[in-house]
Amino acid sequence: MKLKEVVYLLGLRPKPKQYGIAIESHDLPGAGRIEVARWLHPRAPDPAPRQAEVDLLRRFLRPGDVAIDIGAQQGDTTIPMALAVGPSGTVLALEPNPYTFPVLARNAELNPSKTRIVPLMFAATRTDGSYEFQYGDEGYCNGGMHEGMSRWLHGSAFKVRVEGRNLPAYLTREHADLVPRLRFIKVDAEGQDLAILETLENLIRSRRPWLRVEMFALRKSPRDYRRRLFDFLVGHGYDLRRYLPDGGVEGEAITPANLTRWETYDVLCAPREPVA
């Protein structure tokens, strides 16, 4: 834990800080001119889409497909997904953080002839309700629910109340027409990925979507967390490989032998028996 995080946890915290939005234009070889809303927080990831990632997603996403981005933040992972499924498809992008959601909402408005993004300001949780999320800085850039984790381990002292909803129930109620076209789910939830996937178990079994999940930081995870997540995915009929979007490639296969080789990494999960 950094010294300033200890100071923040002891109660000496700066006031919350709002950052603005800048609109940028980017030219992609396969998509042409794309406008992107960039969050001006200095620690925010680069939202510019990369053609290599779009091409990788297009290996299994087709125009008209539906994808879900759980933990979308400003939309840096949402935009490539939306470009891959095109305007006839849909990306449901979940982001409960009130500091970043306006950026995601702005990105959803841009490029209407090329993308269809539905921004949803809630977290995927077991039950509907209000939840406390914790973040590591006064700009609320990176954080989430740290259920069952000591604050001295996650080091996030800035709290905010967010709305949470049971995603399968929400989909049945509000977007039942999209479920038959569901082909991809991305989850990035600060070590809560397995808990979220467990709420989606029936959907995973029936629709067999491709998955992208995060192997959360080793230093902040319970000792057996990665193995439990691995067993869940393999047990539901998925082959796991490292996800390397910048290079546009699938990395090496993930096995029990290399689960802990990297501090943090994403996994692309291919269903062995996908729905046609």
- Give 22's pLDDT tier (boundaries 50, 70, 90): very high
C-alpha distances out from residue 262 to 16, 126, 127, Å: 33, 29, 32
Spatial separation of the C-alpha atoms in residues 101 and 92, rounded to whole Å? 13
On the question of pLDDT at 150 being above 90, the answer is no
On the question of pLDDT at 270 being above 70, the answer is yes
- The single-letter code of the amino acid at 173 is R
Classify residue 247 by its DSSP letter.
G
Residue range 211-238, pLDDT digits in tens? 999 999 888 888 899 999 999 999 999 9
Q: What number is the average pLDDT over the span 44-70?
A: 95
The helix-helix angle for 78-85 and 101-109 (nearest 10°) equals 20
- Give 246's pLDDT tier (boundaries 50, 70, 90): confident
CATH code reported for the domain at 3-271: 3.40.50.150
- The single-letter code of the amino acid at 265 is Y
The tokens of 135 are what?
Answer: 């973040």
Domain ranges of the chain: 3-271
The predicted pLDDT at position 8 comes to 59
Left (φ > 0), alpha (ψ -120 to 50) or beta: where does 153 sit?
A: alpha
The predicted pLDDT at position 7 comes to 52
Residue range 181-204, pLDDT digits in tens? 999 999 999 889 999 999 999 999
